[in-house]
Amino acid sequence: MKLDTRKIEKLLSRPTCRLACDAAALIFFILVILLPTVFLFAFVALRWDEVVFFVFSNPVSGDIRWWRMLNAIAISFEVAAIATAIDLAVGLPIALILARYEFRGKEILDSLVDLPLGVPSAALGLSLYLFWGTSDGLNLLTRGFWLIVLTHVTFTFPYIVRSSVGVIEGVDRTYEHAARTLGAPSFTTFRTVTAPLSKAGLIAGSILAFTRSLGETGATLVVAGLVETAPLAVVSMHQRRLIGPAAFLSMLLVLLALGLLAVIKVVSEKVGIPIKRVWPGLERKLSGRKPRIARDIASLSFFGLMILIPSCFSISCTVNHWDSVFYEVFLAPDEKWKVLVDSLVTSFEVAAIATAINLIFGLAMAIVIVRRPWRRFCSVLDTITDMPLVIPTAALGFSVYLFWGPRGLGLVNTGFWLIVLTHVAFTYPYVVRTLVAALKGLDPSLEHAARTLGAPPFMAFRTVVLPLISTSMLAASILAFTRSLSETGATIVVMGTARTVPVLVVMWSEAVGYARYAAAFASVLLILVCYGLLLALRYVAKR
C-alpha cells in the first residue's frame, strides 16, 4: 500500500503532469478571467456604430449622453480623489499610532480599523444613509455628493491604514533611532527617513483606495440620490438595455483608471519627498508633545465619529426599531423573509463555489508565477492577474455578461451561474496575490531537503509546501469569500432574476415606506458574517 502511494506520487511528479497542471492554470486564466474581463474592448470595437449612434449622434438626444458620461466620470474621479485625500490625512496618523506606539487596547483599535472592510459596501451605504440622512440618525446630510464621499472614505479607509501600517512597520526602527541621535526631532525623522522609505507602499495603498472608490457600486447606489457616478451610469444604462453605451462607458472608465495609475507611478517615481532641506525651528515645534497629541486626538475622533459609528449604525438601528424590523421582515404581506432566506442561500453558494474554484486554479497559477523558470513571462502574468482589481466591478460584471451571455458566446444566461463566473473573475486576484506572496516567502531549500530525502516533487509539494502555505490558503479563501459575499455592482449586472443579499439591501433601501428596516436587518446579518470571518482571518494570520 505504502509503495503504491509513492508510485502514484511519482507518476504525478512526471513532467507531463506538471505541464498539464500549468496548462490548466493558464487556460483557466485566459478563458475565465482574462478574456471575459477585456471582452468589453472587443465588444465596443465590434459595435462601434451602435456606440456612435447612441452616444455621439443620436437623432433624439444628440451627444447629450456623451456629456452625461463625462460628467459621471468627472464625479467618480472627484469622489475618489477627495476620499483618498481624506483617507491619507486621517489614516496616516492612525497608521503611525498602530505601527509605532505601544499601548493597551492597541489590538482593539487594530481590529476596529478593519471593521469597514468586513461590512459589505451596500450594508455600509445603508448604515451611513440611516446615520446621516434619516430621522433615525442625525438627519444632517441628504443623499448626494457629500454622502457619497463620506461613504467612500469609510470603505477605503482600511486599505490606507492597513497598507501604511504594513510599510511603516517594515521600516527598520534603527533608521529612526539613527536620525534621532543625529539631532532630528520626530517630525523631521518621519519626513526625511520614514516617509521616503515607505513611499512606494504608501502610494500603492493610495492607488488601491482610489481604484476601489472609482469602481464602487453597492454603497454608492444606496447613498447617491440623484447624483450619478460612472459605475452607477453603467448599471442604469444596462438596466435600460443600452448595451453599447454601457460597454463604451465601462471601457472609458477602465482606460482612464489604468492611465491614471501609470501617471501616478511615473510622477511618484520622479518626484520625491524633499529630504535635503530641514527647517529646524518649525519642525521642532511640530515634533512637540502638544501638536502630536492634538493630531492623535483629531484623527482618532474622526475615525470614531465619522467612520466607526456610522458604519455600524444599522446595528443599533435594527435593535432600536426591532418591532418595525420584525414586522417588515416577517409579518409584512410581501413575506420578505422568504426572499431573504433565498438570497442568503444564493450568496453563500456563490461565495463558496467561487472561492473553491479560485483556490484550485489560483494555486496552480501562483505556482506558475513563482516557480517556473520563464522569468519575463511570469512577471507579466504576475502583473496582469491583478487587472481585475483596477476594473470597476460593475464594468467587469458587464464585460463577463457580454462575453458569456447571449450577445457573446451565448453559453451562460443571466442568473446564478453567471453570478458565479463574475465573482470568480473579481476574487481571482485576491487568491493569486496571497498565494504568490506565500510561495515567494517559502525557503526553497525546504523543498530541496525533501527531495534529497527521497520525496518525488509531488510528494515534496504535498508534504512540505502545502502545509506551510495552508494558513495563506485559508487567508485567501476568507478574503475571496467575504469579497464575494459583499459584492453588489457586478452582481446587479448579471443576476437576472436571482438575488444576493447585498442586492436585496440596495433594493429595499431604495424602496418606499419602511422597507429600509428590512434592509437594515439583512445588512446586519451580512455584517455579522463578514466581520466575523474577517476576525477569523486576523486570528489565522497572527498564528
For other proteins, give the closer residue by CB, 185 or 225.
185
For other proteins, give the closer residue by CB, 144 or 185.
185
CB 169 → other proteins: shortest distance, Å? 17
For other proteins, give the closer residue by CB, 164 or 500.
164
* 447 SS3 class: helix
Q: What is the DSSP string of 256-325?
A: HHHHHHHHHHHHHHHSPPP-S---HHHHHHHHSHHHHHHHHHHHHHHIIIIIIHHHTHHHHHHHHTHHHH
Evaluate whether 341 touches 525 at the Cβ level (below 8 Å): no
C-alpha cell at 266: 511615473
CB 175 → other proteins: shortest distance, Å? 6
For other proteins, give the closer residue by CB, 189 or 484.
189
For other proteins, give the closer residue by CB, 296 or 382.
296
- What single-letter DSSP state applies at residue 58? B
C-alpha cell at 328: 417588515
CA–CA dist 419, 354 (Å, integer): 9
Could you write out the three-class secondary structure of 80-104?
HHHHHHHHHHHHHHHHHHHHHCCCC
C-alpha cell at 499: 438575488
For other proteins, give the closer residue by CB, 178 or 293.
178
CA distances from 161 to 28, 260, 387, 508 (A): 34, 22, 23, 32
* 62 SS3 class: strand
CB 182 → other proteins: shortest distance, Å? 4
Give how far the C-alpha of residue 241 lies from the chain's centroid of Cα atoms, to the nearest Å. 28
For other proteins, give the closer residue by CB, 279 or 374.
279
For other proteins, give the closer residue by CB, 63 or 172.
172
CA–CA dist 319, 521 (Å, integer): 9
CA–CA dist 146, 75 (Å, integer): 11
Question: Which residues of this chain interact with other proteins, rule CB under 8 A?
Answer: 172, 174-175, 177-186, 188, 192-193, 196-197, 275-281
For other proteins, give the closer residue by CB, 176 or 216.
176
CB 329 → other proteins: shortest distance, Å? 48
CB 283 → other proteins: shortest distance, Å? 9
CA–CA dist 179, 191 (Å, integer): 11
C-alpha cell at 211: 481604484
Evaluate whether 247 touches 44 at the Cβ level (below 8 Å): yes
CB 206 → other proteins: shortest distance, Å? 19
C-alpha cell at 23: 496548462
CA–CA dist 149, 193 (Å, integer): 32
Count, residues in the chain: 543
CB 195 → other proteins: shortest distance, Å? 10
CB 280 → other proteins: shortest distance, Å? 4
Strand boundaries in 39-157, DSSP class E:
none
CB 181 → other proteins: shortest distance, Å? 4
For other proteins, give the closer residue by CB, 171 or 353.
171
CB 440 → other proteins: shortest distance, Å? 21
